[in-house]
Each structure stands twice: as C-alpha cells, then as structure tokens.
Amino acid sequence: MFIDQLHQDHVNTSKLLVLLQKQMDAFDKGEETDFSLMQSIVDYMSEYTDSVHHPKEDLIYAALENRDPSYKNLVDELHKEHKQLSSLTKDLTLILEEIVLDSVISRESVSRQGHDFIKQNRKHLEKEEKTIFPLVLKTLTNEDWKSIEPTLTKQDDPLFGQSIQDKYKALYSQITEPES
Ligand SMILES: [Fe+2]
Ligand SMILES: [Fe+2]
C-alpha cells in the first residue's frame, strides 16, 4: 500500500536523526565531529524528505481535507510544518557549509540549529505516525486512493532505494554498521 512507503521513509529518517544526534552530542562535548557525515544527512533530507516525501504527504492531506473539510485546520498546520522543516534544512545546510569553510561562527548557534532540526523533525514524524496516518487510513476511501495514486510519481530514493548514489555511500555504511 502506498502509505507503507511513507511509513518506511519515517523509519529511515529516524535512523538518520539518531546518527545526527550522535554527531551533535560529540560536537557539544568538544569531541571530534564528522561534519561531512552531517552534511550528507542534511543533503539527503533536502533532496528526498523535503522534495519527495513531504510533497507526497501534501497530496494525501489535500485528499483528507477534500473528503472531510473539518480537517482543514489540521491540514493547514501540516503544510506549514513541511515548509518550516524545509527552511530548517536550508539553514542547517548553510551553517554546516560555513563550518567546513572555517568561517567564524558561534558553537552555540550550530548546537541550537542542529538540535532544533532533530527535535522538529522527530516531533513531526511522530505526530504523523501516531495521529495523522491512522486518521488518513480511517478516512480516505478506495476511490480517494485511486485518484491520488496516479498523481504520485515514483521517485527513487537515492540512499535507501534500489541503488545508492555515490555521494551517500559513506553515510550508507554508517547506517548499516553494527552498533559499537
Ligand atoms: Fe510530513
Ligand atoms: Fe512524513
């Protein structure tokens, strides 16, 4: 079922957020931090989560509102969260670029932006998993799904999909590495 892929995206994103959290914790303690790994995670979230995953959800949420207009405020809120998450991704991308270029930036603002990014993404996907997806499954009819599905183009996932893009290979090996 279509929503299964979106659920799988959440599972995958959660793994990336755990990796990002580990790097942020190391950074906070002044320990060695893998900024290149952090850049790969944020790059993927820009390329896939913000550009493929969220637009698919937006289409489903529009159908939810169509089916039951009383969900308008909820759907507006979700669209707004997608926009906010995308702008957090852009901000974190910029600040990581600055670190890598050795620009003078405060450790405090890196820490704040990194942790905020993790927190807001987790909050959003937990809300979708616990509340929104069950509501969508309960509310949308087979006809609704039939009309949504052709509008959802299948786009390959460059990290968790059939073939892993070269730029994500180092990140992929971290995901599949057994816990030390
Ligand atoms: Fe979402
Ligand atoms: Fe989502």
**Vertex 21: Cα angle to 103 and 110 (nearest 5):** 25
d(CA 95, CA 102): 11
Residue 161 in tokens: 């999909």
Ligand nearest to C-alpha 8: 2
What is the dihedral angle through the alpha carbons of 11, 13, 14, 16, rounded to the nearest 10 degrees?
130
What is the dihedral angle through the alpha carbons of 165, 41, 26, 7, rounded to the nearest 10 degrees?
-110
Residue 62 in tokens: 């529009």
Q: Is residue 66 in some structural domain?
A: yes
Q: Is residue 167 in some structural domain?
A: no
Q: Are 42 and 93 in contact (CB under 8 A)?
A: yes
Q: Is residue 94 in some structural domain?
A: yes
Which residues have their alpha-adjacent CB atom under 5 A from ion ligand 2? 128
Range of the domain at 101: 2-152
Residue located via tokens 């507006």:
76
CATH code of 125's domain: 1.20.120.520
Q: Is residue 165 in some structural domain?
A: no
| Model pTM above 0.75 | yes
Q: Is residue 175 in some structural domain?
A: no
Residue 178, SS3?
Answer: coil
Q: How far is the CA of 12 from the centre of ligand 2 (A)?
A: 11
Q: How many structural domains is the chain composed of?
A: 1
d(CA 114, CA 95): 9
Q: How far is the CA of 32 from the centre of ligand 1 (A)?
A: 32
Q: Is residue 54 in some structural domain?
A: yes
Q: Is residue 142 in some structural domain?
A: yes
Q: How far is the CA of 52 from the centre of ligand 1 (A)?
A: 11
Residue 144 in tokens: 């609704």
Which residues have their alpha-adjacent CB atom under 5 A from ion ligand 1? 57
Tens of pLDDT along the chain (180 residues) come to 778 999 999 999 999 999 999 999 999 999 999 999 999 999 999 999 999 999 999 999 999 999 999 999 999 999 999 999 999 999 999 999 998 888 777 889 999 999 999 999 999 999 999 999 999 999 999 999 999 887 777 788 999 998 899 999 999 999 987 665
Q: How far is the CA of 94 from the centre of ligand 1 (A)?
A: 22
Ligand nearest to C-alpha 55: 1
Q: How far is the CA of 111 from the centre of ligand 2 (A)?
A: 24
CA 48 to chain centre: 8
Q: How far is the CA of 70 from the centre of ligand 1 (A)?
A: 19
Q: Is residue 44 in some structural domain?
A: yes
What is the dihedral angle through the alpha carbons of 116, 120, 122, 123, rounded to the nearest 10 degrees?
130
